[in-house]
Every structure is written in C-alpha cells, then in structure tokens.
Amino acid sequence: MKRNFTVRQGALDGIEVFLAVARQRSFRQAAAALGVSPSAVSQAVRALESRLGTALFARTTRSVGLTEAGERFLSRVGPAYEELAAAGEEARGRGRKPAGLLRLTVPPAVVPILLQPLLASFGQAYPEVEVEIAPSAELRDLAADGFDAGIRLGPFIEADMVAVRLTPPFPLTVAGSPGYFRRQGRPAHIGDLRGHTCIRMRRSDGSIAPWSFVEQGKPVEAVVAGPLIVRDFSAMLGAAIEGAGLAQVPSPIATGPLAAGKLASVLEPFAPTVPGVFLYYPSRHQMTPKLRAFIDHLKSRAGTDAVA
C-alpha cells in the first residue's frame, strides 16, 4: 500500500544560527558573524528549540553555554552541516566552471571523423571534464536517457532543440568497391539502380530509408533493393568496401576510402546536399559550463558559428 508522504518544511531552519551561537558562545557575536540582528538570532534559536522540544543553550546575563542536549546535538549536526555546506559549494563550483561528466549520444560514423581528433585537445584544455561517448544510430531522448547533448545530421534533429553547426553542408555519395563494379558495372542514372545490389538502412522507426537524389533541380527518392540491411552509416560503408553492394553515405566518411582506392563514387550529378552535422541540446537555459566549453572547443576547431 502506498503511503502518503509530506516533505517537512523548515527541517534545517535555525541550524546555521545554532552553530554560530555554539561556536561564539554569544548571541550578539553570532549575530555579527551572520550579519543579522541579535533579536533575529534569538528568535531562530527559540524556534529551533521549540521544534526539537528541548533547550539547547543555558543562558545567563553574562554567558551562553550548551546544555547536555545541545552538546549532543552539536556533535551530530556540526559534521553533517559541514558536509552539506561542502556539497553546496561543490555544486556552485560546477555551475561556474567546466567540470564533471559530459555524456553525448553520437552516430558511430561521426566518432572517427569528427570527435576523435578533438577529444584529446579538449581533455588537455579541460582536465576536470570527463567525456562519455555513446555511439548509437538511434535517436535518443536526451533528458530521459541522461545525455547532455547529441550529434546528428541536421534533418533528424527535432525542431524544439537548439542546434550548433559542426560541419558545412555536404553531399551524399553513392560508392562501391572496384570489385563490385567489375562484376556489376557502374550505374549512370538513378534508374540504373534497379539492376544493382544496394545496401539499405533501417531507420529508428523501423522503416527502410529510400535513397535521396536531385534530378533537374528537384529532389527524388529511389526505393532500392538488396539483401543487406544495416542500422548505421559505418556498417553500410564497411559492407561497401567489402564488395557487398553500393552504399549511399555522407561524403565526409567516404573521403578516406575513396582516396585509398577502396571505393569509387558514381551518380555524382545526382548527389543531394544535406545540411551537415549538428550538435543539439534541449535549451539554452539548461546549458552547463561543461557543455558550453565543449561547444566552444568544437567551434574553435571547426571554425563554425552556432545556429538555432
């Protein structure tokens, strides 16, 4: 059976005043240390004693001492209050300077291309920030899953997110291995893909993504076929390098294999341009110093500006 529970109000009221009087052994000196009036100190102590149901101080016209109950209370409350004060100071410090754990959800393909070159320099610049990278092709709920920010292609970011550009726009590249082209030939037009083995991508909603093109200035979607379905661009690129079929991937991740001769591109006149890669997070008002430091570091290295 669920119990009703009410948070007790004012459970810590008067504790700081009590500790000040106990240290100073004087209501007047405690008031001066706290920057309040002696009457305010007396009222706070009386309210605390009333709430506890016992006297904490033995008062005379010349001195103030602790009762036995006050001594015992001080021995328990003093260390606990110091811990609370230290915890509060630590929280304030984390609100002022970059520190703590920064969790990012990132597509696997982005890690070697964009993040790995930056993580070492960021760690050197901000040694008190720990960065946790969670590679995932799925769109994650940042708040529900405990992430500070995510990185995605622009079209897949929700409209209510704040987005920071990390790369300029780039084309999508259709590529295959030299061995594949020797066996199957090279498509010269979008329609030729009907005779080719294409590596397909399953979206986070379960659907299979069509391939996107531009023809005569108009966007065109092609439903392609092939026996291999993957969940992310890294897997698609790797399968294409091994000769499993054609892949359509963001051009930055294909640059290395193309330059090394592991892949060759086709259908370049029909390649669409996508907005690029963005870092996104829920709200400017929720930005922590560690996230601000990471964004500034990325922008300084990429030479880009933030866009909403």
The pLDDT value recorded for residue 185 is: 96
Give me the residues of the chain with pLDDT under 70, please: 1-12, 86-96, 154-156, 284-286, 302-308
Q: What are phi and psi of 87, to 5 degrees?
A: -65, -40
Which of 22, 20, 40, 39 lies closest to 30 in space, CA to CA? 20
Tokens 């993040």: give the residue: 115
Helix (H) or strand (E) holding 79: helix 68-96
Cα–Cα distance, 176 to 266 (Å, whole number): 8
Pairing of strands 277-281, 149-153: antiparallel
CATH for the 170-274 domain, from 2.30.42.10, 3.30.360.10, 3.30.450.40, 3.40.190.290: 3.40.190.290
Residues with Cβ within 8 Å of 229's Cβ and at least 6 positions away in sequence, in order, are: 199, 200, 201, 202, 208
The pLDDT value recorded for residue 115 is: 78
Say if CB 154 and CB 276 are below 8 A apart.
Answer: yes
DSSP conformation class of 174:
E
Give a three-class secondary structure readout of 16-47: HHHHHHHHHCCHHHHHHHHCCCHHHHHHHHHH
Residue ranges, comma separated, of all CATH 1.10.10.10 domains in the chain are: 15-96
CATH for the 100-168+276-302 domain, from 3.40.50.300, 3.40.190.10, 3.10.20.30, 3.50.40.10: 3.40.190.10
Report CA-CA distances (Å) from 78 to 48, 165, 226: 15, 50, 70
DSSP conformation class of 148:
S
Query: Whole-model pTM?
Result: 0.62
When computed from its CA atoms, the radius of gyration of the chain, rounded to whole angstroms, is 31
Residue ranges, comma separated, of all CATH 3.40.190.290 domains in the chain are: 170-274
The pLDDT value recorded for residue 64 is: 85
Residue ranges, comma separated, of all CATH 3.40.190.10 domains in the chain are: 100-168+276-302
Cα–Cα distance, 124 to 119 (Å, whole number): 9
The pLDDT value recorded for residue 186 is: 96
Give a three-class secondary structure readout of 242-307: CCCCEEEEEHHHHHHHHHCCCCEEECHHHCCEECCEEEEECCHHHCCHHHHHHHHHHHHHHCCCEC
Tell me: the pLDDT tens digits for 18-56? Answer: 888 888 888 888 888 888 888 888 888 888 888 888 888
**Quick check: helix, strand or coil at residue 80?**
helix
Tell me: the pLDDT tens digits for 65-84? Answer: 888 888 888 888 878 777 77
Residues with Cβ within 8 Å of 151's Cβ and at least 6 positions away in sequence, in order, are: 104, 105, 106, 107, 110, 114, 115, 166, 277, 278, 279, 280
The strand pairing partners of 212, in sequence order, are 221
Cα–Cα distance, 124 to 117 (Å, whole number): 12
CATH fold of 15-96 reads: Arc Repressor Mutant, subunit A (1.10.10)
Give a three-class secondary structure readout of 197-230: CECEEECCCCCECCEEEEECCEEEEECCCCCCEE
Pairing of strands 229-230, 247-250: unpaired
